[in-house]
């Protein structure tokens, strides 16, 4: 079977395109993606979402791995010197929706995140303890329903 010159040129173009796609896919796996995630941890490992606030100046919300302790959260925030803090509190496990407050005299206090942050992050809130303003943050709930 004899192929025409146009068929041969078309086959060459298809092979060149296939080689280019293969090269691009190989090169793209060599470079890390530039996705900016919340610090420390990935969402796929079932993370705990916790907040740091207070006088440390490193306030924020962090994803930390399951079974993370308060000291792991502090390390994620860049607080390396934890000698001033109570050892019992440092080794306490965190759960989603908790906030660690660093007080001015070196004491750690663990409390719940505010409801605005919980709603924004998709964390359930306790409707029995929520204020009218907290409930109105939820999409579809007005003042009468709240």
Q: Does the pTM exceed 0.85?
A: no
Question: Domain boundaries in the chain?
Answer: 1-31, 43-137
- Residue 118, class by beta-carbon neighbours within 10 Å (0-12 exposed, 13-18 middle, 19+ buried)? buried
What fold, for 43-137? Ubiquitin-like (UB roll) (3.10.20)
**Structure confidence at residue 46 as a pLDDT band (50, 70, 90):** low
Rounded mean pLDDT of 11-20?
A: 92
Place of tokens 């969402």: 43
- Which is higher by pLDDT, 39 or 78? 78
Give the span between the Cα atoms of 76 and 64, in whole angstroms: 8
* Predicted pLDDT at 23: 84
């Amino acid at each position: 079977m004899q192929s025409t010159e146009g068929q041969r040129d078309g086959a060459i173009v298809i092979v060149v395109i296939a080689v280019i796609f293969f090269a691009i896919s190989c090169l793209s796996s060599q470079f890390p993606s530039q996705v900016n995630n919340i610090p420390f941890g990935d969402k796929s490992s079932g993370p705990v979402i916790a907040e740091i606030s207070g006088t440390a100046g490193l306030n924020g919300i962090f994803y930390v791995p399951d079974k993370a302790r308060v000291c792991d959260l502090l390390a994620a925030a860049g607080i390396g010197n934890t000698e001033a803090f109570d050892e019992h509190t440092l080794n306490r496990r965190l759960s989603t929706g908790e906030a660690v407050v660093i007080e001015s005299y070196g004491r750690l206090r663990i409390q719940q995140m505010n409801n605005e942050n919980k709603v924004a992050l998709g964390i359930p809130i306790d409707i029995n303890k929520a204020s009218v303003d907290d409930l109105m943050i939820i999409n579809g709930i007005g003042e009468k329903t709240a």
